[in-house]
Amino acid sequence: MALLNPGFEQALTGWDSDGASTPAARSGSLALLHAEGRRNTTQTATGLTKGWYTLKAWVRFDGEPAEAWLQLSDGATSAQARVPLVRDNWLHVVVSAEVTTGRCTLGLGSDLPGGTSVSFDDIELIPGRAALTIRGADISSLKKSEDLGGRYRDADGAPADALTILTDHGLNYARLRVWVDSPDRYHGVAQLLEMARRITARGLKLLVDFHYADSWADPGKQPKPRAWADLGFEDLKRAVFDHTDEVCRLLLDQGTPPDMIQIGNEVTNGLLWPDGRNAQGFAALAALLAEGCRAVRARSPETRVMLHIDNGGNNALYRWWFDSILAQGVDFDLIGASYYPYWHGTLADLQSNLDDLAERYGRDIVVVETSYAFTADDCDGYPNVISTEAVAGYRFTPEGQARILSDVASIVRAVPHGRGLGVLWWDATWIPVPGNGWDPADPTAGNNWENQALFDFEGYPLPALRVLGRA
């Protein structure tokens, strides 16, 4: 929609503002500047047809990031999006609202301490809605947690089914990992089938995460299953196909078709080492991935196929990896990224990467793993993976956890062309329960992730769960 002076090239003409113009622009020669205190800049668009509209703006903090937001209101309804807490980088922020009155007011707001300013530039108002269609969680630990005494509570403190709590909070996707021959009987095909029935009965969609291992597979380790250890490469390809096909068949036969499947988990450095390691080239890895993709296409053609790597803020890595895979002709639908804020770069890095991937490859993208701590405390005497604050502005509190999730979702929502489909929280239900630890072969091992669940140590839902359901 046509706005007056959307890039502030005529200073504040067309805007009602207590801000100022600044030459520190993203494009052109001028931008809007808000300095210390609470400030607001607005413009009202009229003559709008009924429907959804999206306000887009580029925003930059200089100095310590604080509170800034975009707001869109038609007088009857209003929506707001906060600016992620990133300094010295332009971020693309969007917010959508339904317009029913023929007019809406665009708001650019801030509340800043001394020494901090925020700039706004390149404002757009366009028809349509920017929203996440995937709001989900990995719940692979849930069955074992329940069996060993884990209990979950609703917001009022009453005992409740964890899946009911998730759906009541607005989640619509669940992710389950599957191992070939799990040492603890969990995370295998039988549990996958049982949990798939529960998930679909709750109205959740299902994402299956094939590890092609008997235990954890990630960038630092991709071990072959014991049963496949002595297979030659052609037989290894057949094993990937057969295993993928069998799991798909069993899910279909029980009426729980997978909506999405990952062929491998964080396969940045390959899978089924050493055969599928990609340090010296992608031909072998691509051949193995292709067998998994082919099995899904043949058995469950409606299922979308994802390839997933880690380090979601590293654009050079993603270009290298996906350029190489596409050069080998691997057939897939979705790009999956892990983004852990304490390991994988800033939110600006994440946005730069996801935006580039959307433009470069024309594929939809899911941040399929993310998490953050709600406390630095340890509940079970087993050291946590993350125990000291790693990201400035986001404290290890329930509120800090909720804020960083909100900001990750904001980054994904702003991916061009609606290619950012959604966000899944990693192992949201992994609360501290004796026996449900990190090492599936050692029942005495503790849980080093319990301070990053979406439930507190007593099984109460945390504020981030509500944020995810509304993202």
Which positions are catalytic? 266, 369
- What amino acid is encoded at 113 in this protein? P
d(CA 94, CA 91): 10
Residue among 178, 180, 212 at smallest CA distance from 196: 178
> Per DSSP, what are the bridge partners of residue 136?
173, 424
Residue 447's contacts (CB-CB under 8 Å, 6 or more residues apart) are 379, 380, 382, 430, 431, 432, 433, 436, 437, 438
Torsion of the alpha carbons at 396, 399, 401 and 402, rounded to the nearest 10: 180
Classify residue 200 by its DSSP letter: H
**CA angle, 347 then 352 then 355, to 5°:** 120
**Alpha-carbon span 225 to 212, nearest angstrom:** 7
Token duo for residue 208: 């299956």
SS3 category, 179: coil
Backbone angles phi, psi at 434, to 5 degrees: -55, 130
Beta carbons of 267 and 309 less than 8 angstroms apart: yes
Any idea of the CA torsion for 309, 311, 315, 321, to the nearest 10 degrees?
A: -30
CA angle in degrees (0–180, nearest 5) for 262-139-424: 60
Q: Long-range contacts: 299-304, Cβ < 8 Å, 24+?
A: 299/244, 299/245, 299/248, 299/249, 299/252, 300/248, 300/251, 300/252, 300/257, 300/258, 300/261, 302/257, 303/248, 303/257, 303/258, 303/259, 303/260, 303/261, 304/259, 304/260, 304/261, 304/333, 304/334
Q: How far is residue 109 CA from its own chain's centroid? A: 26
Instruction: DSSP for 132-176, please give it.
Output: -SEEEEE-TTHHHHHHTT---B-TTS-B--HHHHHHHTT--EEEE
- State how far the Cα of 441 lies from the Cα of 438, in Å rounded to an integer: 9
Answer yes or no: are the C-beta atoms of 376 and 451 closer than 8 Å.
Answer: yes
Read off the DSSP letter of residue 455.
B
Instruction: Identify whether 341 is preceded by a cis peptide bond (ω within 30 of 0).
Output: no
